[in-house]
Amino acid sequence: MGVQKSLFSEKSQRVILWWGIGLAVVYGFALVVLLKMVPPPSAQWSATQIAEFYQHNSIRIRWGAVIAGWSGAFMMPILAVLTIQMARVEVGGAKIWTVLSLVSGALMSLFLALPTIFFGTAAFTANRLPEVTALMHQLGVLTLVTSDQFYIFMWVAVTVIALRPATQLIAHNPFPRWWGYLSLWITVMFEAGAFAFVPRSGPLAWDGLLVFWSPVSLFTVWIIVQCGLIFRALREQAAAKQNGEYGVEQAAHDTLV
């Protein structure tokens, strides 16, 4: 019974992580299939073209906004588990990098939810003045692609934790050193998002390679790999407890602290 109780945290973390992954898949479906924002319509479209897009797809987009409203906060459960794992390995006083990651996750969820609200609003009364619909559409797309800057705080925190030598001394941690370098590269690549305010075509436009496709692809890869690393670490942590290694592991952690 003692072992069963001690595994509650690991089991809960796995359930919560799958919860977040499931919501992410649903959100992706809404964004791609219903909202038709992968990729978003060209920034060179006129107000009339944008209005026609929302008029022809009004019902689909509104249902997409509904589903995205249910699933847009998918990073909150994922970040909850991530920060628990970060707190486990962040030794040496106040867990400031863990806190930074948690705050970044909350902001990230906000800026994933807001664009779909704007798209739904644009479709809600699609027969209004084209300029008004175009304004809501542009606000939605620009919020989606330029708010990348709020994501990087989490990746900076993960980078620091992964590259810190003390982290690699803790058994069963989901932040290998190579992951720190990859997270750092993703951080740099995401900085291109803010350029979407300037051009309407090319790689820095809101549907371009550097502003849209690169961040979307890297974000997806990051979630898949980081969740995989956490699942592996949770299995190892649970196995260590079942094998009676938990006391030894905790003593080693306390020594580092």
- Whether the per-residue pLDDT at 163 is higher than 50: the answer is yes
Residue 65: what residue type? A
What pLDDT is attached to residue 80? 94
Mean pLDDT over all residues of the chain? 91
Percent of the chain having pLDDT more than 70?
A: 93
Residues 6+ apart with CB under 8 A from 50: 41, 130, 133, 134, 137
Q: What Å distances lie between residue 91 and 96, 129, 216, 250, CA to CA?
A: 10, 57, 32, 12
Residue linked to tokens 């649903």: 26
DSSP assignment letter at 35: S
130-155 confidence digits (pLDDT tens): 999 999 999 999 999 999 888 899 99
Confidence class of residue 59 from pLDDT cuts 50, 70 and 90? very high
What pLDDT is attached to residue 1? 46
